[in-house]
Each structure stands twice: as structure tokens, then as C-alpha cells.
Amino acid sequence: MRETKALTSRQREVFEFILKWMRETRLPPTLSEVAQFLGVPYPKSAATHLDALEKKGYIQRSPGKARGILLTPLGESYQMDRLIENILEIPIVGRIRAGRLTGSEIVPDGTLAVPLSLFTEKPDFALQIRGDSMNGAGILDGDMAFIRKTREARNGDLIVAHIQGEMTLKQLIVEKRQMILRAANPLYADIRVSPDDESALVQGKMIGLFRDQRTNGGRNWS
């Protein structure tokens, strides 16, 4: 029976490289590819790390095969644990108009499990888009927008704003201290907000988008 031990940080890097390579190519890496990842000139230098992973029970190797690395049950368990650790459960808090200021629904509606690696910033919630005013920005009716809560936004950001008692998703344009909410569809006029209008509030910034193939012709993350 192989001895099972925790991995060193370097061994973990090598093992996670192997897992990533297998996810992306559906094949295990060769010894030369592991050496290239490590930045070492000779495959034998990489072999010591594979020896350690095999001794600790994370992989098996088939002698004589260039792509002979196989995951053991322990290795597969590690992979599943890492996947779970890197999954976010994002609350879907309702539907938001990307159109005229009518009919937004801010009602909890379950969660959406998404990979953490998709984001440079962690989203706080998701909203389903209703309407066509942001079509020109690639945001379609039925898409799921991921939002980070913030009261601050920069010129050009895509924001969720509360205005006139409604919620809307628009691009923020700032001109001479005036806030303009601009659609990405010429059929919709700008919404101009006076600096004195205390009812107009930025609720968050869009940091990602999900499109379901069943509603908009292709499952896609952006």
C-alpha cells in the first residue's frame, strides 16, 4: 500500500498543473511538459516531483507511456475538493430592466453556482436582465448579470442604479458633474440625473455576465 501524506507547496503546484492540463486537454501531460511548467531544462528534474506524488498516493504512472499519468482515487478526491472550494454560490436577487423604468422585480430567486476563476472581483449577487436597451453592449434579454455592491462608480462603468423608484442597468456617463444613464440601443433616450436628486443611487457595478444556451443561443460566460 502506498503511503499517503500531505503535499508540499511545490508538489501541490505540480499536481494542480497536472489537473489543469487534464481538464483543458483531456490528456495527462508528458514529463517534458511538466518540466517546462517547472522551468527546468531536464525532464529528470521533473520526475522527482512525480515520484513524490506517486509515493504519496495521488497519481499512478504507466511505464513506457509518454502520457502515462493516471489519477488515483485520492487524486480524484483532491480534484473534487478543489473544484468545490473554487465554486461560488451567487444569490439571484431578482430581475432588472434593461429598458424603460418599469417592472423591475427585486425578489430572491435561488442561487447560481459559478467558478471563482471567472472573476477578478467577487460578485455579491446576480440579476436577470429584462429588456433590450443594452443589446449594443452584448447584454441580452434573459442574461444573468453579476453585480458587485458599491456606491461608487467611474465614468463608463455598467451600473445598477435606483432611480424614480425603479432599478435599471445602464452605462454611467458623467458630464459636468451630471450623471447620465445611457442605453446601448438608440431606441432609448439618455436618463439624466440632477446632482440634487438624492433619490438616484448607484447600487452596484456589473462585473460579469452569464448567458444560458436555452434562452439566448449558447451557454457563455464573459
Q: Can you list the domains of the chain with their CATH numbers?
A: 9-85 (1.10.10.10), 89-213 (2.10.109.10)
DSSP 8-state symbol, 176: T
Q: Is the pLDDT of residue 216 over 90?
A: no
Instruction: Determine which helix (DSSP H) or strand (DSSP E) holds 43, and give its type and residue range.
Output: helix 43-55
Active site residues: 133, 170
pLDDT in tens, 178-214: 889 999 999 999 999 877 776 678 899 999 998 875 4
For 93, the 3-state DSSP assignment is: strand
- pLDDT single digits (tens) 73-97: 988 888 887 777 777 888 888 888 7
Answer whether 71's CB lies under 8 Å from 79's CB.
Answer: yes
Please spell the DSSP secondary structure of 102-123, one letter per residue.
Answer: ---B-----EEEEEGGG-SS--
pLDDT band at 3; cut points 50, 70, 90:
very low
Q: pLDDT confidence of 109, banded at 50, 70, 90?
A: low
Asked if 167 contacts 160 with a C-beta cutoff of 8 angstroms, the reply is yes
Q: What is the C-alpha separation between 64 and 54, in angstroms, rounded? A: 16
In this model, does residue 222 exceed pLDDT 60?
no
pLDDT-above-90 percentage for the chain = 45
Q: Would you give the DSSP letter of residue 174?
A: E
Which residues, in sequence order, are bridge partners of residue 173? Answer: 180
Is 177 within 8 Å of 195 (Cβ atoms)?
yes
With a cut of 60, say whether residue 54 has pLDDT above it.
yes
Which residue pairs, CB below 8 angstroms and at least 24 apart, start in 189-192?
Answer: 191/101, 191/163
